[in-house]
Copies of this chain bind each other. A is one copy, B any other.
Amino acid sequence: MRDVAIAAGVSPKTVSNVVNDYVHVRPETRALVRRYVEELGYRPQAVGRQLRRGRTGAIALAVPGIDMPYFADLAALLVSAARERGLTVVVEQTDGDIEREREVAAGFPVRFADALIFSPLSMPPSELEAPRHDTPMVLIGEHGGAAAVDHVTNASVDIGAVAASHLAASGRRRIAMVGYKENRPKPVMEQRMLGYTQGLRAAGLPVDRALIRAVPEWDRQPGADAVDALLAEHPDVDAIFAANDVLAIGVLSALHRHGRRVPDDVAVVGVDDVPESRFTTPALSTVAIDRAFVVEAALEMITARLADPGLPPRNLTAPHRLVVRDSG
């Protein structure tokens, strides 16, 4: 900036004024400065600006893995939405690891972003209540519970119920669930399982604990593995509710490998409506979660809290709806 100022024979502040479209600059001066800005290839450095303004213009997104289709999609929406607001997105991955999550919740060792959108998996919700930093934080996902933190959640009990009811309504009697984990259940698992049992009960079906299958994590392979085990013990299953779509995709692949026809022999329903669900064979029925809502709500909360840190915490729930395709 100094170089431009010297070259144009004006003060640095005038260059600043031109770059920022300050009103009271003589057109000739403006043109002159613009020319040297162009000629010297000057770009304002975010850092100086940020230091002066107290805002970085960046928001951090912390998720278990940016390569999980649901989060990849969410990130894409967020980056676009942030861009419209003149913001940049910094991505952090926790792998669901509790220490990494603690680090993130504590506001990173070094403060980088104006705000944080955080999808925790392992941290006890209680710990999330009182972050010691003043960076606004919005939780996404079921993990926040009733904690006094801004947060966008899903109605996962209802999601589970909707899926199970749908399967029951289409005449299935032995409806398994894939995606629970006994020893360290996450809220999202608990809620979807609770909904699943509610759905079964509402349809007059018994809940057989043996049909609730644990997985080490929510990915395609664990979904397939769970089906291997499930079919070995209970060959009579006629439907599977997978706690999310990547699990369901593993489930579909394993069923195909075992020669079970979908949906004739076994119906499958997932959750999330990730893009690839439309293209599985058969196309996956799923409970779609409104990701655009999540992103907009999160950004809105952040904006509001940046404007007024004293705001009481809010808790919004993203809409969902059953999308029936070919798998059940």
Interface residues of A (CB under 8 A from B): 41, 43-51, 56, 58, 65-67, 69, 72-73, 75-76, 79-80, 83, 88-93, 107-112, 132-133, 220-221, 224, 249-250, 252-253, 256, 275-276, 278-283
Across the interface, A220 reaches (CB within 8 A) one of B49, B132, B275, B282, namely B275
Residue of B nearest to A219 (CB): B275
Tell me how far the C-beta of A121 lies from the nearest C-beta in chain B, rounded to whole angstroms: 15
Across the interface, A110 reaches (CB within 8 A) one of B49, B112, B221, B256, namely B49
Q: Point out the residues of chain B lying under 8 angstroms from A50, CB to CB.
A: 47
A67 CA to B91 CA, complexed, in Å = 13
Question: Would B280 and A281 count as touching, CB distance under 8 A?
Answer: yes
Question: Would A76 and B69 count as touching, CB distance under 8 A?
Answer: no
Residue of B nearest to A89 (CB): B91
CB within 8 Å for A46 and B112 given contacts A66-B66, A75-B91, A220-B276: yes
Q: Point out the residues of chain B lying under 8 angstroms from A73, CB to CB.
A: 67
Tell me how far the C-beta of A292 lies from the nearest C-beta in chain B, rounded to whole angstroms: 13
Question: Would B275 and A250 count as touching, CB distance under 8 A?
Answer: no
Question: Would B253 and A108 count as touching, CB distance under 8 A?
Answer: no
- Could you say which of A47, A89, A133 has the most chain B C-beta atoms within 10 Å of its C-beta? A47
Tell me how far the C-beta of A116 lies from the nearest C-beta in chain B, rounded to whole angstroms: 13
Tell me how far the C-beta of A148 lies from the nearest C-beta in chain B, rounded to whole angstroms: 18
CB within 8 Å for A44 and B276 given contacts A67-B76, A93-B76: no
- Could you say which of A109, A249, A276, A278 has the most chain B C-beta atoms within 10 Å of its C-beta? A276
Across the interface, A41 reaches (CB within 8 A) one of B48, B66, B133, B221, namely B133
Q: Point out the residues of chain B lying under 8 angstroms from A279, CB to CB.
A: 220, 224, 249-250, 252-253
Question: Would A76 and B66 count as touching, CB distance under 8 A?
Answer: yes
Residue of B nearest to A249 (CB): B279
A-B contacts, 6 listed (Cβ < 8 Å): A46-B110, A72-B72, A89-B91, A224-B279, A249-B279, A276-B276
Residue of B nearest to A253 (CB): B279
Q: Point out the residues of chain B lying under 8 angstroms from A88, CB to CB.
A: 90, 92, 112
Across the interface, A92 reaches (CB within 8 A) one of B49, B69, B79, B132, namely B79
Q: Point out the residues of chain B lying under 8 angstroms from A281, CB to CB.
A: 252-253, 256, 280-281
Tell me how far the C-beta of A283 lies from the nearest C-beta in chain B, rounded to whole angstroms: 7
A66 CA to B83 CA, complexed, in Å = 14
Q: Point out the residues of chain B lying under 8 angstroms from A49, CB to CB.
A: 110
Q: Point out the residues of chain B lying under 8 angstroms from A46, CB to CB.
A: 56, 110-112
Question: Would B41 and A132 count as touching, CB distance under 8 A?
Answer: yes
Q: Point out the residues of chain B lying under 8 angstroms from A221, CB to CB.
A: 278
Q: Point out the residues of chain B lying under 8 angstroms from A108, CB to CB.
A: 43
Residue of B nearest to A278 (CB): B220
Residue of B nearest to A82 (CB): B91
A107 CA to B41 CA, complexed, in Å = 10
CB within 8 Å for A66 and B56 given contacts A253-B283, A281-B280: no
